[in-house]
Structure 1
Amino acid sequence: MKSKQVIIIVFAWLFGYQMVANAQRVPLTLEESVSYALENNAEARNARLEIEAARGLVGERTAEGLPQINANLSANNNLVVPISPFPAVIFDPEAEEGEFIGVQFSPEFTAGLSATVSQMIFNGSYFIGLKAAKTYRQLAEVDRKFTELEVIENVKKAYYSVLVSEEREELVRANLSRIDTLLKETKILYEEGFAEKIDVSRIQVQHNNILTELDKAKTATLVSLRLLKFQMGMPQDQDIILVDSITGLESLLDADRLLMEDGQPRVEIDQINTNYDLATLDLKNNQIQYMPRLDANYTFQRNAFGNNFSNLWSGKWFTGSVVGVTLQIPIFDGFTKRYKIQQNRVQLRQLEVQKESVLQNIALEKFQSRQNLINSLKALEVQRENRDLALEVFDMAKIKYQEGVGSNLEVVEADSALKEAETNYFSALYDAFIAKVDLEKALGILK
């Protein structure tokens, strides 16, 4: 009775542990991985924050055209009151000519309260700056799209890399299982006198090599998983499991339509066009600096005086106010604006040259990406056929060996050839997926 209870408890614990482990593992498809990365990748998050900063810049530029109000409150203690010289005859007609006496005009304590309101009436730079701020916000949006495309590209390639690494690990395990079975059978044949010691040793060497290869395959899978989580912005301690398989995604390689696609405008061109608009606005801003600036202002103030600090606040306050306009006319600045305009025009020409270069580079990328995808698909078909042939050769070699008409050397060589063919097939499949991603990026349709 106690044994049954122990078994039930152990079974329940194992079942509960497995449920918790599965709950902690996050299953992810390729699309889910991309969606997660667009929300959590550090570069994508910074790109969204840059948009918020650009919105703040627009608000800052807008605020410059609104009334500016400032208030000041001051209290001063003149420790040493300044003395001003005055002719003595003003106070004493009998004083000698050229004699002066010192007079203190300032009280020991002063206080002042003032409020100033200023309003820009005309400033050409303000309107250009406001438009430049809005254009900068557009540039931040374009940069966000560019960053997201890079995130999508990196996540897809990392996802495919994990799938291929897992398949390679499974291939090594399957190869190890085949060699392990062959080793056991050969040992039995050796013990019964139907095989030689060299046959056992040969297979044992193959077995040991595969064990080492399996350790490398496990490491490659772990590294690929960590790289994927890094590209997604996922914590490294989060356990994930990929739902898709490399063979299950092979249907995505139906590239006939993709190879005929003309593509869409690339985001890089939008970046250059927006930078060109910003440079044009900077040129206009420097040109409009030759125009005057007109501001209106109003100041209201109250002042108090006294010989001690307590009487200062309870005494009489004197009121004053000033209203006026200020016209600032630029006359000569040592040709500073002239040289800034010269730099702006050079920058515009540089952006035009850059745009031509990028357009040529995009055309080259499209051509190269198409050719790479075509070659990758051809290589995939060849490696698929080689894998099928290698599997057929291995099965025949194993049957011949089991029937005593073949050697185990043929089986070992056939197994090595099968392992190489399978590895080459999945490598070709990975190359085809990467070529597809590169072509979609070159065409501007990556998503």
Structure 2
Amino acid sequence: MNGKKYLLPLCLLGLLVQHAAFAEGLSQLVDDPLQTQPEQLQSGATLPDASRISCSQSVDFSQPLTLSGAVDTALCNNPQIRATWAEIKVQSGVVGEARAAYLPTISGSVSRLRDSTVYSAGSQAPGVTSTGNQYYGSLNWRLFDFGGRAANRESANQMLLAAIAGHDAALQKTMVTVIQAWFDTLTSQAEVDARQHIAELARQTLIVAQRRESLGASAQDETLQATTALAKAELTAMRASGDYQKNIALLRQAMGIDLATELTLPRQPERVIPSDIHDLNEWLKQAEDRHPAIQEARAKWAADKDKIISVRSEGLPTVDLTAHMSRNGFPNQGLSSINQTSKDIGITVSIPLFDGFSRQYKIQEARAQAEQSEAQMEDTTARIMTDVVKAYADARTALNVLTASQQLLDAAQKSVQSVQRRYDKNVADILEVMNAQSALADAQQQRIEAIAAWQSARLSLLANTGILSQLSESSG
């Protein structure tokens, strides 16, 4: 009994699910009967790593802003991305028009007419009035056109691919901008911390110098030098703070959020594990195969080549099947005096004979446009390949500097600790302390710049190769 109790609700639920699926399929069939919409429009935009762009969840700015949070916000707010997404929809419609050219067109009309015939006053014939319905239908179907429709269809397909690549390029550009802004802000925040640390060391040195002066262990000159060093360190820290405020404002702008939004970022990692750079030829091959700008230029060139065939076919004969059916007369004419039905079917061959040489110049224009697109594709490819070579060289250099900068920082920190201990015990003078602190400040700056250079070079290499994604969040 218990099984039978739930059988009916389960059956109803199954019917509802089937009905919903059928309704969804019917809606898609009505909206896109020729199946022209690409997968991107149906499932949503994706990043190069196949992760989807979701704008349903907002980022909590009260927490430290992660790189993925900054990227998600920028991708959802960028107007250029929305424009390129709309361009995909436009080109999907163009593809539908090109496919529709293979199908017949059918039209019909129904008219309710009232005809009145009135004779002159001298005539003995009475007036005649008739009322009736008039029906008319026609069918036109192009059977052959020397490849014009095929060329238009292929050109539309290529332009759709170009629109998709253009959208990917807009995603890529936005991600490069916001990721670079995020890393710049992270770097400037690390510089603020480093400069404040140096200022704190200078403050501690001043305290020791003042104590030594009060005990008669050192002259007033050392205290003045320590005071000067502290003022210089605080001034440098203020400038670093100003750079940080500027970079965080640029990050807000890149994300497309209110400039008054409070943002905090996580700290720059002290240790960065570099990743493998691989071989240059591998990066070049990936860039040629995957970079959206190259794909877009390549698709536009293919579309322009198909346009030549389309324009040429417009001056060649076409073969159409035509059929008409009328009852009680024809449209824009009066009712037939007798009820009659007229039907005709035939083959129409249209042969363009002379158009004032305009077709010849249109073909020349199409060829020139294809040549221009080819040159633009080659220029885009060469430019991107050059950028990849430069980014690869920068990444190799940054990788070597990254290791050396860590060794320099470790040595400078040990030197400061050693000289401070000796200064506290009155076995070192103020110049040794200041020199060690200056060397530490330089080593910290070198380390920060090395990490920033590595992150920037790695980002540039990924971006110029066309494989940038949210996986780039890892600083290594």
TM-score bracket relative to the smaller structure: 0.7 to 0.9
Query: Counterpart in 1 of 2:308?
Result: 283
TM-aligned CA distance change 1:74 to 1:422, over 3 Å: farther
- Which of residues 192, 207, 225 in structure 1 aligns to 2:248? 225
- Is 66-75 or 140-149 further displaced after alignment? 66-75
Structure 2: which amino acid aligns with 1:266?
R
Checking the alignment, whether the CA contact within 8 Å between 1:160 and 1:246 is kept in structure 2 is no
For the pair shown, the structure with the greater C-alpha radius of gyration is 1
Checking the alignment, whether the CA contact within 8 Å between 2:297 and 2:380 is kept in structure 1 is no
Structure 1: which amino acid aligns with 2:229?
Q
When normalised by structure 2's length, the TM-score is 0.68
- Which of residues 203, 215, 226 in structure 1 aligns to 2:226? 203
The question of 1:435 aligning with 2:452 is answered no
Query: Counterpart in 1 of 2:95?
Result: 58
TM-aligned CA distance change 1:221 to 1:117, over 3 Å: farther
- Which of residues 129, 135, 155 in structure 2 aligns to 1:132? 155
TM-aligned CA distance change 1:377 to 1:303, over 3 Å: closer
For residues 260 and 299 of structure 1, the distance between their equivalents in structure 2, rounded to whole angstroms, comes to 67
Query: Counterpart in 2 of 1:108?
Result: none
**CA positional deviation for 1:420:** 1.7
- SS, match of residue 121 in structure 1: strand
For residues 363 and 280 of structure 2, the distance between their equivalents in structure 1, rounded to whole angstroms, comes to 46
For residues 319 and 26 of structure 1, the distance between their equivalents in structure 2, rounded to whole angstroms, comes to 82
**CA positional deviation for 1:288:** 0.1
- SS, match of residue 140 in structure 2: strand
The question of 1:42 aligning with 2:42 is answered no
- Is 416-425 or 347-356 further displaced after alignment? 347-356
**CA positional deviation for 1:157:** 1.9
TM-aligned CA distance change 1:303 to 1:165, over 3 Å: closer
Structure 2: which amino acid aligns with 1:214?
A
- Which of residues 260, 266, 271 in structure 1 aligns to 2:290? 266
The question of 1:391 aligning with 2:413 is answered yes
For residues 141 and 304 of structure 1, the distance between their equivalents in structure 2, rounded to whole angstroms, comes to 51
**CA positional deviation for 1:357:** 4.5
For residues 380 and 195 of structure 1, the distance between their equivalents in structure 2, rounded to whole angstroms, comes to 40
Cα deviation, 1:156-181, whole Å, max 9, x if unaligned, reads 22222121111111111111211122
**CA positional deviation for 1:34:** 3.2
**CA positional deviation for 1:430:** 0.7
Checking the alignment, whether the CA contact within 8 Å between 2:195 and 2:236 is kept in structure 1 is yes
- Which of residues 30, 33, 57 in structure 1 aligns to 2:67? 30
For residues 382 and 98 of structure 2, the distance between their equivalents in structure 1, rounded to whole angstroms, comes to 37
Query: Counterpart in 2 of 1:190?
Result: 213
For residues 320 and 215 of structure 1, the distance between their equivalents in structure 2, rounded to whole angstroms, comes to 94
Checking the alignment, whether the CA contact within 8 Å between 1:29 and 1:244 is kept in structure 2 is no
Cα deviation, 1:364-398, whole Å, max 9, x if unaligned, reads 44433322222112222232222222223322332
Query: Counterpart in 1 of 2:192?
Result: 169
For residues 333 and 381 of structure 2, the distance between their equivalents in structure 1, rounded to whole angstroms, comes to 71
Instruction: Give the unaligned 5+ runs of structure 1.
Output: 1-21, 76-90, 92-111, 306-315
How large is the Cα RMSD of the aligned pairs?
Answer: 4.3
TM-aligned CA distance change 1:323 to 1:182, over 3 Å: farther
Structure 2: which amino acid aligns with 1:342?
Q
Checking the alignment, whether the CA contact within 8 Å between 1:391 and 1:418 is kept in structure 2 is yes
For residues 327 and 60 of structure 1, the distance between their equivalents in structure 2, rounded to whole angstroms, comes to 23
- SS, match of residue 242 in structure 1: coil
* Count of aligned positions: 393
TM-aligned CA distance change 1:187 to 1:127, over 3 Å: same
**CA positional deviation for 1:236:** 3.4
Checking the alignment, whether the CA contact within 8 Å between 1:291 and 1:330 is kept in structure 2 is yes
- SS, match of residue 255 in structure 1: coil
The question of 1:342 aligning with 2:379 is answered no
- Is 229-238 or 286-295 further displaced after alignment? 229-238
Cα deviation, 1:299-322, whole Å, max 9, x if unaligned, reads 9657799xxxxxxxxxx9x99989
Residues 48-447 of structure 1 correspond to what in structure 2 (within 5 A)? 48-63=85-100, 65=103, 67=105, 69=107, 117=138, 119-122=140-143, 124=145, 125-243=148-266, 245-247=268-270, 250-251=272-273, 253-257=274-278, 261-262=282-283, 263-264=285-286, 265-267=289-291, 268-293=293-318, 294=320, 296=322, 298=324, 328-447=350-469
**CA positional deviation for 1:274:** 0.9
**CA positional deviation for 1:350:** 4.0
- SS, match of residue 428 in structure 2: coil
- Is 429-438 or 403-412 further displaced after alignment? 403-412
Instruction: Give the unaligned 5+ runs of structure 2.
Output: 1-58, 114-121, 123-132, 470-476
Checking the alignment, whether the CA contact within 8 Å between 2:109 and 2:137 is kept in structure 1 is yes
- Is 416-425 or 149-158 further displaced after alignment? 149-158
**CA positional deviation for 1:286:** 0.9
Checking the alignment, whether the CA contact within 8 Å between 1:230 and 1:236 is kept in structure 2 is yes
Cα deviation, 1:44-76, whole Å, max 9, x if unaligned, reads 33222221222222234445655264879999x
Checking the alignment, whether the CA contact within 8 Å between 2:277 and 2:396 is kept in structure 1 is no
**CA positional deviation for 1:407:** 2.1
Checking the alignment, whether the CA contact within 8 Å between 2:206 and 2:223 is kept in structure 1 is yes
TM-aligned CA distance change 1:391 to 1:303, over 3 Å: closer
TM superposition outliers: structure 1 runs of 4+ over 6 Å: 70-75, 112-116, 302-305, 318-326
Structure 2: which amino acid aligns with 1:408?
I
**CA positional deviation for 1:280:** 1.4
Structure 2: which amino acid aligns with 1:434?
S
Checking the alignment, whether the CA contact within 8 Å between 2:405 and 2:447 is kept in structure 1 is yes
For residues 260 and 450 of structure 2, the distance between their equivalents in structure 1, rounded to whole angstroms, comes to 31
Structure 2: which amino acid aligns with 1:50?
E
For residues 270 and 134 of structure 2, the distance between their equivalents in structure 1, rounded to whole angstroms, comes to 80
TM-aligned CA distance change 1:341 to 1:376, over 3 Å: same
